[in-house]
């Protein structure tokens, strides 16, 4: 990377299923923004990894691709895994988890921001304007010891299976530090400035201990209101009054489950972006999987991937101090809102007819006619 001239190298992993279908138009949109905004440039390097790659070569994530990804400025990922292709022990191929672990991408950021015209599954008008963030710890918790299940009894008919949850002080401190800072950043933009720790501290000792670390750290962030909620109550309240949330932080498995619930609040998987952020690296990808049921038909909604690319632009802008990247992030975010605003663009996952191309064209039209730029300029 050469931040001095803001030339960024981006590792692109299209992956499996609809992964490539949503990544290709996103890369084109990023190239368009590079041209329209200026002040930064991209070099995209496409990498092969995923379930199909495992089937073809016996390797899910080649070592050299991993190395290049580690040395790049950011990683853009489509989707990985196919239920029909598995490791001999039955697990699905999930190199995106290896990326998270190898690069220590501890903060899984899942913004829950509803877009104009998206279905409102709750029916309440307040749920049409959600804007909160769920942060999922992504390197430890119940996922930390995956692949190391310990069985009791005979190998051909075990009597019990044990999977261990790991929570560390260092992992919790860096997670909470990141989360409090995000709550502070949002507060500066007019949000509530609350950080809620979601756990099961009333039943599991490790969560009680983690909550203590959260409370201890909250003293360092007097501008942020600390709060707690048990995960079961959280699931209920995300359906009952999701407009009350601001920033939530939770363990890996709880975050995995709650982020799919959150995607449902946004109307569908094709609307939910994400970022997995570490100290040096970050992966940006839609929350959805490879969706083999719709692959190859041009039906995939690229919105989640476009919004993940907007998150990438914002992260590059923040970490390298390149304001043009922040502007491009805002322009892309507004282009998505504008594309959906008149209610005529209805993706197939909402029961409409707009497939990948129609959604992309609508977003590109708002970039080309300058309307997204005007909105971004007046919002700044
Ligand atoms: P994973 O476990 O890998 O996250 P998953 O089993 O949760 O994947 P997805 O692949 O995310 O499943 O698909 C869930 C449902 O959402 C499927 O019916 C799929 O067609 C739909 N879906 C997912 N992504 C999109 C998209 N971008 N556009 C339209 N529909 C989508």
Among the candidates 247, 265, 283, a domain finishes at: 265
Same-domain status, 52 and 125: no
Same-domain status, 176 and 231: yes
Same-domain status, 7 and 107: yes
Q: Whose CA is nearest to atom 25 of ligand 1?
A: 270
Q: Which residue is listed with tokens 């995995």?
A: 256
Going through the chain in order, the beta strands assigned E by DSSP cover 7-15, 41-46, 74-79, 107-113, 131-137, 150-152, 160-162, 194-199, 225-230, 247-250, 273-277, 282-286
pLDDT of residue 117: 84
Range of the domain at 46: 1-112+272-380
The answer to whether position 94 is within a domain reads yes
In 3D space, the residue among 112, 77, 131, 79 whose CA is nearest the CA of residue 267 turns out to be 112
Average pLDDT over residues 262-281: 94
Q: Give dist(CA 96, CA 284) in Å, integer.
A: 11
Residue 68 burial (CB < 10 Å; 0-12/13-18/19+)?
A: middle
How much distance in Å is there from the Cα of 306 to the middle of ligand 1?
A: 16
Residues 36, 367 contacting (CB under 8 angstroms):
yes
Angle at 15 between CA 113 and CA 52, to 5 degrees: 145
The answer to whether position 205 is within a domain reads yes
Q: Could you give phi then psi for residue 370, rounded to 5 degrees?
A: 80, -5
* Measured distance between the N- and C-terminal CA atoms of the chain, rounded to whole angstroms: 28
The answer to whether position 230 is within a domain reads yes
Same-domain status, 249 and 379: no
3-state secondary structure of 213: helix
pLDDT of residue 334: 98
How much distance in Å is there from the Cα of 269 to the middle of ligand 1?
A: 6
pLDDT surpassing 80 at residue 26? yes
Query: Taking CB atoms and a 6 Å cutoff, what residues make up the pocket around ligand 1?
Result: 18, 22, 81, 269-270, 288-291, 293-294, 300-301, 304, 349
Mean pLDDT, all residues of the chain: 95
Q: Is 316 left (phi over 0), alpha (psi -120 to 50) or beta?
A: alpha
3-state secondary structure of 15: strand
- CATH number, domain with residue 102: 3.40.718.10
Same-domain status, 327 and 362: yes
What's the pLDDT band for 2 if we cut at 50, 70, 90? very low
Q: Whose CA is nearest to atom 7 of ligand 1?
A: 289
The answer to whether position 225 is within a domain reads yes
Residue 203 burial (CB < 10 Å; 0-12/13-18/19+)?
A: exposed
How much distance in Å is there from the Cα of 349 to the middle of ligand 1?
A: 10
Q: Give dist(CA 139, CA 141) in Å, integer.
A: 7
The answer to whether position 91 is within a domain reads yes
- CATH number, domain with residue 188: 3.40.50.2300
3-state secondary structure of 183: helix
Same-domain status, 1 and 64: yes
Same-domain status, 104 and 231: no
Q: Give dist(CA 57, CA 72) in Å, integer.
A: 24
Q: Give dist(CA 180, CA 321) in Å, integer.
A: 21
Same-domain status, 212 and 299: no
The answer to whether position 79 is within a domain reads yes
Among the candidates 244, 265, 286, a domain finishes at: 265
Same-domain status, 357 and 321: yes
Tell me the pLDDT tens digit for each residue of 43-57: 999 999 999 999 999
Same-domain status, 236 and 126: yes
pLDDT of residue 160: 98
For the full predicted model, state whether its pTM sits above 0.85.
Answer: yes
Same-domain status, 79 and 106: yes
The token pair at 182 is 């995000």
How much distance in Å is there from the Cα of 110 to the middle of ligand 1?
A: 16
Task: Name which of 109-123, 165-179, 187-201 the model is least confident about.
Answer: 109-123
Among the candidates 265, 282, 301, a domain finishes at: 265
Number of structural domains (the chain) is: 2
Same-domain status, 213 and 307: no
pLDDT of residue 89: 82
The answer to whether position 14 is within a domain reads yes
The answer to whether position 210 is within a domain reads yes
């Amino acid at each position: 990377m050469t931040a001095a001239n803001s030339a960024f190298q981006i590792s692109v992993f299209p992956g499996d299923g609809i992964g490539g279908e949503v990544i290709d138009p996103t890369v084109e949109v990023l190239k368009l923004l590079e041209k329209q905004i200026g002040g930064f440039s991209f070099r995209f390097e496409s990498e092969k990894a995923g379930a199909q790659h495992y089937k073809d070569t016996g390797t899910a994530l080649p070592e050299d691709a991993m190395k290049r990804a580690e040395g790049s400025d950011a990683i853009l990922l489509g989707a990985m895994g196919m239920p029909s292709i598995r490791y001999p022990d039955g697990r699905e191929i999930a190199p995106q988890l290896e990326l998270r672990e190898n690069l220590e991408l501890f903060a899984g950021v899942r913004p829950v921001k509803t877009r104009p015209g998206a279905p409102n599954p709750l029916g309440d008008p307040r749920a049409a304007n959600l804007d909160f963030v769920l942060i999922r710890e992504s390197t430890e918790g119940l996922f930390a010891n995956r692949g190391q299940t310990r069985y009791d009894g005979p190998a051909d008919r075990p009597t019990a299976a044990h999977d261990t949850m790991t929570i560390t002080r260092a992992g919790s401190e860096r997670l909470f530090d990141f989360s409090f800072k995000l709550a502070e950043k949002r507060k500066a933009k007019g949000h509530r400035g609350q950080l809620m720790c979601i756990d099961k501290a009333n039943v599991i000792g490790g969560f009680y201990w983690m909550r203590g670390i959260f409370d201890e750290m909250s003293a360092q962030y007097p501008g942020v209101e600390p709060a707690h909620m048990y995960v079961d109550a959280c699931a209920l309240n995300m359906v009952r009054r999701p407009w009350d949330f601001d920033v939530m932080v939770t363990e890996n498995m709880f975050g995995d489950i709650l982020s799919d619930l959150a995607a449902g609040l946004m109307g569908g998987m094709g609307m939910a972006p994400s970022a997995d952020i570490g100290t040096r690296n970050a992966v940006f990808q839609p929350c959805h999987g490879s969706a083999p049921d719709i692959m190859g038909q041009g039906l995939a909604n690229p919105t989640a991937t476009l919004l993940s690319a907007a998150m990438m632009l914002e992260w590059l802008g923040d970490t390298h101090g390149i304001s043009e990247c922040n502007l491009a992030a805002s322009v892309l975010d507004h282009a998505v809102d504008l594309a959906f605003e008149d209610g005529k663009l209805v993706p197939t996952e909402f029961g409409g007819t707009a497939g990948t191309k129609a959604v992309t064209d609508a977003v590109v039209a708002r970039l080309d006619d300058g309307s997204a730029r005007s909105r971004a300029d007046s919002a700044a």
